[in-house]
């Protein structure tokens, strides 16, 4: 499955341990929390303007996928975390959005 082209499914099931391993292998830079309920990544930038451009680009993905992250925004960085609240943990939806966020041109600023 190409995560960059995939669409989130509101009925996506939780990922089992093997699926989580495969997903994380496909998402360089993303790490799970100790309970394996979310994945997150910190993106660094040269200035606040770049941070905000990135935040707005992430918002476009979240809106299009109807799957919304938690974001911690600072003057030179943004940490993005995905989990599927309705399922209480990680689903393929989180991997889809993480892959699409990682592919943003703003993510490599």
- pTM listed for this prediction: 0.95
Which structural domain, as residue segments, surrounds residue 66?
Answer: 33-87
Mean pLDDT of 82-103: 97
Work out how many domains the chain is built from and give that number.
1
Q: Does residue 68 fall inside a structural domain?
A: yes
Residue 109 has pLDDT above 60, yes or no: no
pLDDT at 107: 79
Nearest to 91 by CA among 27, 10, 6, 29: 10
**Collapsing DSSP states into helix, strand and coil, what is residue 45?**
coil
Q: Does residue 8 fall inside a structural domain?
A: no
Q: Does residue 45 fall inside a structural domain?
A: yes
Tell me the pLDDT tens digit for each residue of 22-43. Answer: 999 999 999 999 999 999 999 9
- CATH code, domain with 74: 3.30.1360.20
CB-count burial class (<10 Å; 0-12, 13-18, 19+) for 66: exposed
Is the separation of the CB atoms in 9 and 92 below 8 Å? yes
Q: Does residue 10 fall inside a structural domain?
A: no
């Amino acid at each position: 499955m190409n995560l960059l082209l995939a669409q989130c499914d509101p009925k996506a099931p939780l990922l089992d341990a093997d699926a989580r391993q495969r997903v994380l292998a496909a998402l360089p830079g993303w790490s799970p929390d100790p309970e394996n309920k979310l994945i997150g990544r910190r993106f660094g930038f040269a200035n606040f303007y770049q941070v905000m451009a990135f935040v707005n680009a992430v918002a476009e993905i979240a809106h299009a996928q109807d799957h919304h992250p938690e974001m911690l925004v600072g003057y030179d960085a943004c940490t993005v975390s995905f989990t599927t609240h309705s399922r209480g943990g990680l689903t393929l939806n989180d991997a889809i959005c993480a892959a699409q966020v990682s592919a943003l041109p703003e993510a490599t600023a």
